[in-house]
Amino acid sequence: MSFIIAIDGPAASGKGTIARALARHYGFHHLDTGLLYRATGARGGDPVRAARALTPEDLDRDDLRSAEAGQAASRIAAIPEVRAALVDFQHRFAAQEPGAVLDGRDIGTVICPDAQVKLYVTASDQVRAARRAAELGADPAEVLAQLRERDRRDSERATAPLKPSPDAVILDTSTLSIGDAIAAAMAEVERLLPR
């Protein structure tokens, strides 16, 4: 059985950076599950049909990291039929040997509830907004408003809301350097990785 690391949390918390670092370190496959929703939204048209037709190549689009793609992803992620269409894709990915790291908003609660490691990565709203604004070259106040709206929508949706799994380790990166955040996550993986 594949070793699965599930990393959840809100936008700009550092979960993607941590997930990529863990996958690289352990030689595991990595999937930013948010890209599935971004790619589905970027396809346009009927979101359910777009989700069902999604291919791995769709995840390589250059425009998937834009703020617009993120907002579109959050809107279509609230559609239960879209989520259902993407669940199989994620299950197949997670089953790859020797292991997989999946980051998103419902990995530990819905997609991989039996993951060996579950992390919920978070940071203060202000820190997340500053990070995302620097990444996008945008106004921090505008980004803060967008992040709060997205957090509200993601947390309040009926299907697979953004929330930590009861057995997830909470990792607040507000005051951590990238290296310290990765080290803290790696320490949790080391504690649970079979020898």
> Which residues are bridge partners to 5 per DSSP?
101, 117
- Is 11 annotated as contributing to ligand binding? yes
The DSSP call for residue 116 is: S
- Is 41 annotated as contributing to ligand binding? no
- Is 9 annotated as contributing to ligand binding? yes
What does the radius of gyration of the chain's CA atoms come to, in whole angstroms? 16
**Residue 135: CB atoms within 10 Å:** 12
The DSSP call for residue 64 is: G
- Is 66 annotated as contributing to ligand binding? no
Rounded Cα gap, residues 128 and 33, in angstroms: 19
The DSSP call for residue 120 is: E
- Is 122 annotated as contributing to ligand binding? no
- Is 14 annotated as contributing to ligand binding? yes
Question: Tokens representing 36?
Answer: 């599935």
- Is 17 annotated as contributing to ligand binding? yes
| Residues annotated within a binding site for ATP | 9-17
**Binding site, residues?**
9-17
